[in-house]
Amino acid sequence: MLSVRPSSADGRRQRQRTSPHGFESCFLVKKVAKPRDRKAEYARRKLRQLAKKNAAESGADSEEEKRRAQEEKQKLVDAELVILSKQMAGLPTDADRDIDFAYRQSGNPELMPLECPSLGAWEWYQYARNSREKFLDVCAKREDAKTKQAGTVTSQRMEDDKRKQFASIDRIERQLTIDVKSAIDDLMVKFPREVLRHCRKHEEAWKAFIAEECQ
């Protein structure tokens, strides 16, 4: 029987594909790298650039819309300030009312001039919104001043009450003195000896009276 020996080229290919133990060896087989898909990478890069551009344009549009909205609101505010100024012409001012109003409304960002009781209230409201710490300092000082003033008024009122009470007591004493003198005069006319005898029973007072009268 004739045997066919493999050619040298077939033997080399066989040795490259298998190890001495008959297993395919990754170390013996040289893998060929796939070519990079340049078109796909370029397309993805273009998509990222386009997305960034759209985001930037969208942000610019949003900023432009905000700016226009602010301009429109400012025009409305100016118009309402003109109306409020005409309404308040000639009316007396009330700083306490305006500051209290600004304090209560300082957390309301949507307040408009015509919702305020006066132009002063609107200005205090703006100050409270833009310089909150300084505005609160003003409020604290005003409250301290009110407390001190209230204490002064209370003290003055107490002194006035005391004077009124003492004046009332003086009037009562004068009236009692008049009544006593009138009563004694009447008794001395009607019962002189009885009155004198009764007075002598108060020995110390009688002696002091005699001593003063005899000087």
pLDDT at 179: 76
Two tokens, residue 112:
């408009």
Cα angle vertex 170, ends 166, 172, to 5°?
Answer: 115
Per-residue model confidence as pLDDT tens digits over 95-139: 999 999 999 999 999 899 999 999 999 999 999 999 999 999 999
Cβ atoms < 10 Å from Cβ of 106: 19
The reported pTM is 0.45
Helix H, strand E, coil C: the string for the chain is CCCCCCCHHHHHHHHHHECCCCCECCCCCCCCCCCCCHHHHHHHHHHHHHHHHHHHHHHHHHHHHHHHHHHHHHHHHHHHHHHHHHHCCCCCCCHHHHHHHHHHHCCCCCCCHHHCCCHHHHHHHHHHHHCHHHHHHHHHHHHHHHHHHHHHHHHHHHHHHHHHHHHHHHHHHHHHHHHHHHHHHHHHHHCHHHHHHHHHCCHHHHHHHHHHHHC
Contact 105, 138 (CB under 8 A): no
Which residues pair with residue 18 across a beta bridge? 24
> For each of the chain's 215 residues, which pLDDT tens digit applies?
444 454 555 545 444 444 444 444 444 445 555 556 566 676 677 777 777 777 666 666 678 888 888 888 899 999 999 999 999 888 898 999 999 999 999 999 989 999 999 999 999 999 999 999 999 999 999 888 888 877 666 667 777 777 888 777 777 777 777 777 788 888 888 888 888 888 878 888 778 877 777 76
Two tokens, residue 76:
């409305």
pLDDT at 104: 93
Cα angle vertex 39, ends 38, 45, to 5°?
Answer: 90
